């Protein structure tokens, strides 16, 4: 490989590493994640100190992450070759089934607890499922922007 080719390859590898490592710290992830930042502002607002307020913050974050997940998924489907798109469809369907089963498990676990503090904790556990998938699909989208 020529010197120029090696430099391009190293540049692409560095870009990929930067994308994959961007979320390694929670603070970095929050800076890069507007939904997480909005959630933190919402949770820390005095007006949302109640159980209902905290749960409402988590519900808003869940809607935002769900929208982001759907946008990333749709964009990925459009950018992938047919075979890879089909694999992504199968993966997303399996993830949706997992999410629904996991929500039931989370509900069962928190149903064993008493106290209002567990209500927003359960909402947070549920929203984190979609957050993780949204961030994962967004990472795949960024990977697809790295040259061929």
**What does the pLDDT look like over 7-21, one tens digit per residue?**
444 555 555 555 555
Residue 25 lies in a domain: no
Residue 3 lies in a domain: no
Instruction: Round to whole Å and give the CA distance between 77 and 81.
Output: 8
Q: Are 85 and 20 within 8 A, CB to CB?
A: no
Residues 6+ apart with CB under 8 A from 119: 51, 54, 55, 110
CATH number at 68 reads 1.20.1270
Residue 4 lies in a domain: no
Predicted pLDDT at 32: 80
Residue 5 lies in a domain: no
Q: Cα–Cα–Cα angle for 12, 18, 23, nearest 5°?
A: 150
Domain span holding position 86? 33-144
Tally of domains in the chain: 1
For the residues 43-48, what does the mean pLDDT come to?
Answer: 96
């Amino acid at each position: 490989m020529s010197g120029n080719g090696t430099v391009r390859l190293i540049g692409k590898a560095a870009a990929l590493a930067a994308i994959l490592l961007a979320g390694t710290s929670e603070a970095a992830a929050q800076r890069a994640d507007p939904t997480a930042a909005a959630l933190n502002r919402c949770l820390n607002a005095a007006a949302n100190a109640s159980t209902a307020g905290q749960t409402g913050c988590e519900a808003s974050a869940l809607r935002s992450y769900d929208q982001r997940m759907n946008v990333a998924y749709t964009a990925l489907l459009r950018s992938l070759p047919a075979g890879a798109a089909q694999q992504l469809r199968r993966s997303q369907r399996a993830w949706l089934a997992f999410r629904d089963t996991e929500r039931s498990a989370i509900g069962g676990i928190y149903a064993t607890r008493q106290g209002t503090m567990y209500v927003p904790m359960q909402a947070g556990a549920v929203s984190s499922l979609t957050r993780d998938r949204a961030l994962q699909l967004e990472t795949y989208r960024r990977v697809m922007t790295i040259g061929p």
